[in-house]
Amino acid sequence: MKKLLYFLFIFPLFLNAQNDCKDGHSESKPADVSGKNVDGNSELIPISFKNNSIKGSPFAFKDWCKCEVVTLDNSVTNYDKVQFNLEKNQVIVYNNGISTAIPTSQITSFKVTDGNSTRWFTSIDKSNFIDNTENKLYEVFSTGNYLIKETTKNIQVSSDDSQKMYYKKRTSYYVLNKSGKYVKTKLNKKNIMKLLKDKESDIKTYISKNKLSFNEKDIPRILEYYYTLS
């Protein structure tokens, strides 16, 4: 919870933009090399990327992105080339021909930017969830972190005769409830209203007045309003 509160303090109030580093994988894949410590503060893990036997990639973005990483000691480090490995939930740094992974346990938050677009991710402890067994990095959409997203990629085997391996992407959403715990949910009217049923009338009026929908963009606004109600 300490890391979560710290992130709430530094998180900008204007978060709504989407990053131009779109979901997918880069045509120029990260180098198949091992690395050393590149920032002098955190012990970095050497990694290897290249695997021609699997279709797709484990990465979140099509290209390397600029990134600002905040670590547990509150130090802030800027990198010109960063990827997010969705299979291992790791931030990948590319510097001077070296690819390395910063241990997730050492990261408080990170911000990925490209031009004027920004996406924020934060580390949230498993104790803040109703049912979760790992500390992970989640994408957040508002100051209060009321809605967070977990995106993963896992290796699957095709069901046809080719038996080819490929990366399958899965997305899960969590909403912060009144008890301060994250609950897994789906982004639709039925599921969101069920979580907010104690203020259903007020929420429906707010949604109608502001012409909001039950999507990734508008749900954070709905949740922020919900938490202003006594």
The confidence score (pLDDT) of residue 117 equals 80
Half-sphere exposure of 172 (CA within 13 A, CB side): 13
Helices of type H across the chain:
2-10, 189-195, 200-210, 219-226
pLDDT tens-digit readout, 179-188: 899 999 999 9
pLDDT tens-digit readout, 98-140: 889 999 999 999 999 866 789 999 999 999 999 877 889 999 9
* Residue 86 contacts residue 151 (beta carbons within 8 Å): yes
The confidence score (pLDDT) of residue 44 equals 57
Q: Which residues of the chain have pLDDT under 70?
A: 1-51, 114-115, 230
DSSP state, 212? -
Residues linked to residue 151 through DSSP beta bridges, in sequence order: 171
The confidence score (pLDDT) of residue 194 equals 95
User: Phi, psi (5° rounding) for residue 37?
Assistant: -60, 125
The confidence score (pLDDT) of residue 229 equals 93
The confidence score (pLDDT) of residue 131 equals 83
Each domain of the chain, given as residue ranges in start order, spans 2-185, 187-230
Amino acid at 66: K
Which of 120, 118, 92 is CA-nearest to residue 104?
A: 92
User: Phi, psi (5° rounding) for residue 203?
Assistant: -65, -45
